[in-house]
Amino acid sequence: QTSMRECGSAFAPSNIALCKYWGKRDAALNLPVNSSLSISLGDLGTRTEIRPSDADAVYLNGEPVALDDAFAVRTLAFLDLFRSEFGNASFVVRTENNIPTAAGLASSASGFAALVLALADLGGWGLGGRMLSMLARLGSGSASRSLFEGFVQWYMGTCPDGSDSFAEPVSKPWPEFRIGILELSSARKPVGSRDGMNRTVETSELYKNWPAQATADLETIRGALFARDFQTLGKTAERNALSMHATMMAAWPPLIYLQPETIEQIHKVQRVRADGLEVYLTIDAGPNIKLLFLEDNEQAVASAFPGLQTINPFG
Ligand code: PMV
């Protein structure tokens, strides 16, 4: 029950999956086909402020957003779920991303997580992490993982009502872990993750193997996390991401998020690895590459990949 304050505000980190979420078993509740595991990006993410008002208004990075813009439509549709908690209020929502929106990183994940936390702050809800994670999941699946720092697992759950499909932190911090962002193209995605997932699930023959592979990869990555076995983690995360892209490419019409620059850099990662540099990659539903490496190799990776933006998730 709600004891309303004047304004709610919160921050949530962006996250990158090492074992990807791809495919929904329930589109309305955002229930996934498989469990997934991610790393949160520390202080890179979304800060959101929300206050009740006479009329809805949405701001993104300080600029007003037209209410028929896709970003505003999605934000307001999500708020519809909660208006009754606040006496059917309208809201002014201010969202600030400190990670480039175009890079496909300030995605919906940190946005919906921050929005749920801001609502919880506004209403003084006092809900636990699991419940907040499930609420964020309703906005975007990967948002369920952005409630937490560090390594996070989203349990797919089995209940049809989604009451056991939430994320939780796993494993202790790994202070040497680094992520590099290779921003290759800021072109808008041709197909969003929702449509992309549906198309893959419905038409891709290769997708049939995805749930089993994701389950196995997740266990391997968890084991590697606990053992601090970076090589196994990196290898499994890279193969998991490229396998996800294989399922997409086998859909019809084919779903190809990789651009020529992406392919070029995939080959480069293989080359520098063959030369002895321990670096792995992962790719989401877009053309940009995220590199995975350890602190010891930070300089070497930065000089091999000019323009790399390095993130210390535990910094
Ligand atoms: O949460 P969504 O609907 O934006 O989907 C995220 C899908 C991937 O980024 C490709 C994978 C993941 O687990 O984050």
pLDDT of 74 > 80? The answer is yes
pLDDT of 102 > 60? The answer is no
> Is ligand 1 within 6 A of the CB of residue 141?
yes
* pLDDT at position 1: 47
Pocket test for ligand 1, best of 14, 15, 16, 20 (most atoms within 8 A of CB): 20
* pLDDT at position 171: 85
pLDDT of 103 > 60? The answer is no
In whole angstroms, how far apart are CA 60 and each of 43, 80, 81, 95? 18, 19, 21, 5
pLDDT in tens, 132-176: 999 999 999 999 999 999 999 999 999 999 999 999 999 899 999
pLDDT of 241 > 50? The answer is yes
22 C-alpha to ligand 1 centroid (Å): 7
Q: Which two tokens stand for residue 90?
A: 């309208």
Pocket test for ligand 1, best of 153, 193, 243 (most atoms within 8 A of CB): 193
pLDDT of 104 > 70? The answer is no
How large a percentage of the chain has pLDDT more than 90?
91
Residue whose pair of structure tokens reads 């994940």 in the numeric block: 109
Phi and psi at residue 285, to the nearest 5°: -80, 65
The predicted model scores a pTM of 0.96
Task: Give the span between the Cα atoms of 120 and 18, in whole angstroms.
Answer: 28
What ipTM does the predicted assembly reach?
0.99
15 C-alpha to ligand 1 centroid (Å): 10
DSSP, residue by residue, 73-129? HHHHHHHHTTGGGGTT-EEEEEEEESS-GGGT-S-HHHHHHHHHHHHHHHHT----H
How many residues does this entry show for the chain?
315
- Among 275, 274, 273, 292, smallest CA distance to 283 is for 292
pLDDT averaged over every residue in the chain: 95
> Is ligand 1 within 6 A of the CB of residue 23?
no
pLDDT of 246 > 90? The answer is yes
Mean per-residue pLDDT for 165-189?
91
